[in-house]
Amino acid sequence: QVQLVESGGGLVQPGGSLRLSCAASGFTFSSYDMSWFRQVPGKQRELVAVIRRSRSTNYADSVKGRFTISRDNAKNTAYLYMNSLKPEDAAVYYCNAHFPGSDDRDDSWGQGTQVTVSS
């Protein structure tokens, strides 16, 4: 079955860096768009970055220039490199797999990884 497993979250000081990983299995990874979302309590889940199967990317304005999304199709893994972290980046980060043209309700999600930014 489809499985997405995030890792790499943790506690980091403001200005620090983290790399999140999303290991995928159970589907043809290279055919899917992969995204990172984040959510804080009481707020809606928001899109952070997407890398399409074409490798084109888009970022939320709040993370442009600081975060980089990438994918390794040979390893079935997506990454989110987060630099210059700010307290407002603290959230649970979720990996998402979306087959282009399909209903968003059919997307697959990971269980999330907590990122805490605090001194």
Q: Classify residue 30 by its DSSP letter.
A: G
Residue 85: the pLDDT is 98
Residue 53's pLDDT is what? 97
pLDDT in tens, 16-52: 999 999 999 999 999 999 999 999 999 999 999 999 9
pLDDT in tens, 75-90: 999 999 999 999 999 9
User: Using an 8 Å Cβ cutoff, are 2 and 99 in contact?
Assistant: no
DSSP type of residue 62: T
pLDDT at position 56, please? Answer: 98
Q: Is the CB of residue 116 less than 8 Å from the CB of residue 13?
A: no
pLDDT band at 92 (very low <50, low <70, confident <90, very high): very high
Q: How many CA atoms lie within 13 A of 48 on its CB side?
A: 29
